[in-house]
Structure 1
C-alpha cells in the first residue's frame, strides 16, 4: 500500500455501479459540501448527516462522509451558524470534510438498500416492486491474440461484462486473423516496426450496462497485451435489467403476522414496530421498501403481497390498505441504516483492490429521532 484514494476515483467507482441517472427525478444526490479534488484518508459511512455525526467524524479524523440521506435535500436560504444545519456546514468546511450523498440511486441499484433489506429478511425469488426504468445496454467487441483471450475475458467479466439474468461470463468468441503494421515510435508486443504482421486472434463479444462501459474498457486496456488494443462499442436498442424501488419475494416458510413482526425487529435490530392487520393471520409473500413507502402500498397490494415492510406509514393510508387485506409492518425509516454495513463492505473491498491506505469506518451515532417508551 502506497497512497490514499482520490475522492473523484472513489465516487467514479460508486457512480459506475449506482449512477445518479437511475435516481428518482428531482432527487438530491452527489456532492453536498466540499470538494472531490483531493485524496482522502478516511471515509465514514452514515445514514444521516447530523451535527453529532459531524462531531464523530471530526473526532476520528474523517475527511469524507458517504451518506444515504442528503444533507441539503431542501434549499438553504441562508447559512446561519447558530442553527444546527449552519453548524454542520461550518464544521465540515473548517475541517475539510467532504460530504457526498447517494439517495434513491442507492435504493434502486441491484445490491443496494432494498436488496440489502430483502436479503436481511431472507426473501426468495425477489423482483422489483415498483419499476422505474430499464438499464441501457452496450455491446463491447474486442480483438485479442489467442494467447491472451482467457485473461481478457476474465478481466471483462470481473468488471461487469457478460451478465445476463443469473448468468455471468457470457461472451461469444470467433477466431480470425488480425493484421497490423507497427510504425516508427511504437513498441509492439508482437511483430517488428514497419513490417506487416498477421496474428491469430479471437474476437470477443459481450454485453454490458452502459454505466459500466468505462470500467470494462479500463479492464480491457489493463489485461490486453497490445500497446493499442482494438475494440468497438455499440449502443443497443434492447433493454437490460429492470430497475426500481422496493423488492417483493417469498419467505422461506409461512408464518403468522405476529411472528413475522418479531422476525423483522430482529433482522433490522429495532426495539419495536407498528403492525397493521390480524396478528394471527399468515404471511408468505412479502414486499419491502426502505424509507417512506406510502406511495407504494397499493402497488404491494396489486402485486399480491400479504404484507409490506416499510416506514412512515400514514394513519389513513393504513386504513385504506388494511380494508383491502394488506398487512403492514412498519419498523421505521431508520432501518435503512442497513446500508452502513453494506457500503462499508463495498468500499472496503474496492479500496483493498486498489492497494491504497484509505480506511473506511462506520458511523456509530444513532440517528433515529424516535424512541419506544
Structure 2
C-alpha cells in the first residue's frame, strides 16, 4: 500500500487536532504536497538547514516539526538566504514539511505531558484551560466474528480512552435481524431472506472533536454494507484541554534541589532559578516554550514553582512579588517531542507502510562561554 503525506498527517491530527491550536498559529503543511508518497518520516523540533541536510542524507520524505518553518509570510524566496536555501533543498529533494505547534502543546500526551513525564510527575492536570470536549456515547451493533476488530479500530481512532486506559467498551450479546432487499449486497444472507445473526452491542465514549473520524473508522472496520449505530449526547463532564500542566512531587524538596533535578531531567548544562533556594517545593507547573504570561495561572492553581523557558527580567520580579518561584531550563527542552512523538506516531501507524525517526541534530542556539 502506498502511503502519502495526507495519510501520515491524519494519524498526527487524530492525536493533536488542528482545532486545538491557537488562532494565528501557522500550523499545517508548509512545503510540499499532501499527495506526495512517504516512506520515511523525521520528527524534528526546528526546521533549520542542518536538519534539512540530515533529512536529505537519510532519504526522508516528510519532516514533522514542532516549530513552524514559516512563522511570518515570506515576501520572496531568495536562495542566497538561509530560509530560501531551505525551501530550495526541500523542493529539490521532494521533502514535505508539516508543523504541529500549539495543538501538540495542548494535546493529551503532547509536549507538556512529555515534559511532566521527564520529571516523573505522572498525575497532572491542565494548567490553562483553552477548551473542553463534550462527550458522546457511541453504540454499534457488530457480528460476534468482528468484535475484536471493531474494538481495535475504535480505540485506534481515539474512542474508549478513559484516563490511562484504552479499549474501554461495554458489550452485550443479542440477536440482530435484517432482510436484504433488491439491490443490496449483504455480507451475510441473501436477498429476500430474513436473517438472524448473533451480534454484540458495543458501547463506548467518544469526544465530540473526533466523533466523525471515529464513526468513519468504525464503518471501515465493520463487515456489513450498512453499519447500524446510535449516537447519544452525554451529560458527563467532558475532557478539559489546555496549555501547560500542574502536578505534585512524590516528596517535597527545596527549590535548589529541585532545580538540580530539573537540570538533570532535561539534560541541560544549567537552569536559571527565581526564588529562595531553601523554599519547599511540592506543587509543580510546567509550560513548554515561553510561558511568561501564565505566571498568574500558575499561582492561582497553587503552584510553588513554574518551569518554563525564556523568562523575562520583569516577569521574574513579578513572580517573586507574588511568591511564585520559577525555573528556566530553556526553550530547547521541547526537544523531548522528537523521540516521543516519533514513538507515538509509529504506534498509531501500524496500518501504514512508513518508518519514523527522530532528528539527531541539536538546534539549541545558545552556547556557554
Q: State the TM-score, normalized to the length of structure 2.
A: 0.92
Structure 1 partner of 2:142: 144
The range that moved more, 164-173 or 92-101, is: 164-173
Q: Tell me which of 187, 195, 198 is aligned to 2:196.
A: 198
> CA 1:82 to 1:152, structure 2 compared with 1: closer, same or farther past 3 Å?
closer
Is residue 344 of structure 2 the alignment partner of residue 360 of structure 1?
A: no
Listed one character per residue, the Cα deviations across residues 298-344 of structure 1 (whole Å, up to 9, x for unaligned) are 11111111111100111011001112211111000010001001111
Q: Tell me which of 287, 292, 295 is aligned to 1:294.
A: 292
Structure 2 partner of 1:180: 178
2: CA distance between counterparts of 1:207 and 1:259? 42
2: CA distance between counterparts of 1:151 and 1:359? 24
Structure 2 partner of 1:371: 367
How far residue 173 of structure 1 moved from its aligned partner, in angstroms, is: 4.7
Q: Tell me which of 6, 9, 22 is aligned to 2:7.
A: 9
How far residue 366 of structure 1 moved from its aligned partner, in angstroms, is: 1.1
> CA 1:237 to 1:123, structure 2 compared with 1: closer, same or farther past 3 Å?
same
1: CA distance between counterparts of 2:295 and 2:49? 33
Corresponding residue SS for 2:130: strand
Corresponding residue SS for 1:77: coil
Structure 2 partner of 1:343: 341
Does the aligned pair in 2 maintain the 1:17–1:211 contact within 8 Å? no
Q: How does 1:23-38 map to 2 (within 5 A)?
A: 23-38=21-36
Corresponding residue SS for 2:123: strand
The range that moved more, 211-220 or 311-320, is: 211-220
Structure 2 partner of 1:98: 96
Corresponding residue SS for 1:5: coil
Structure 2 partner of 1:244: 242
Does the aligned pair in 2 maintain the 1:139–1:233 contact within 8 Å? yes
2: CA distance between counterparts of 1:63 and 1:182? 46
How far residue 169 of structure 1 moved from its aligned partner, in angstroms, is: 4.3
The range that moved more, 339-348 or 180-189, is: 180-189
Does the aligned pair in 1 maintain the 2:158–2:210 contact within 8 Å? yes
Structure 2 partner of 1:44: 42
Q: How does 1:227-306 map to 2 (within 5 A)?
A: 227-234=225-232, 240-306=238-304
> CA 1:136 to 1:87, structure 2 compared with 1: closer, same or farther past 3 Å?
farther
Q: State the TM-score, normalized to the length of structure 1.
A: 0.91
How far residue 150 of structure 1 moved from its aligned partner, in angstroms, is: 5.7
Does the aligned pair in 2 maintain the 1:124–1:251 contact within 8 Å? no
Structure 2 partner of 1:55: 53
2: CA distance between counterparts of 1:153 and 1:51? 43
> CA 1:146 to 1:346, structure 2 compared with 1: closer, same or farther past 3 Å?
closer
Listed one character per residue, the Cα deviations across residues 102-141 of structure 1 (whole Å, up to 9, x for unaligned) are 0000000000000000111111431100000001433322
Q: How many residues align?
A: 369
2: CA distance between counterparts of 1:20 and 1:160? 15
5+ residue gaps, structure 2: none
How far residue 21 of structure 1 moved from its aligned partner, in angstroms, is: 0.4
> CA 1:355 to 1:146, structure 2 compared with 1: closer, same or farther past 3 Å?
closer
> CA 1:235 to 1:82, structure 2 compared with 1: closer, same or farther past 3 Å?
farther
2: CA distance between counterparts of 1:19 and 1:202? 31
Does the aligned pair in 2 maintain the 1:7–1:36 contact within 8 Å? yes
Is residue 76 of structure 2 the alignment partner of residue 78 of structure 1?
A: yes
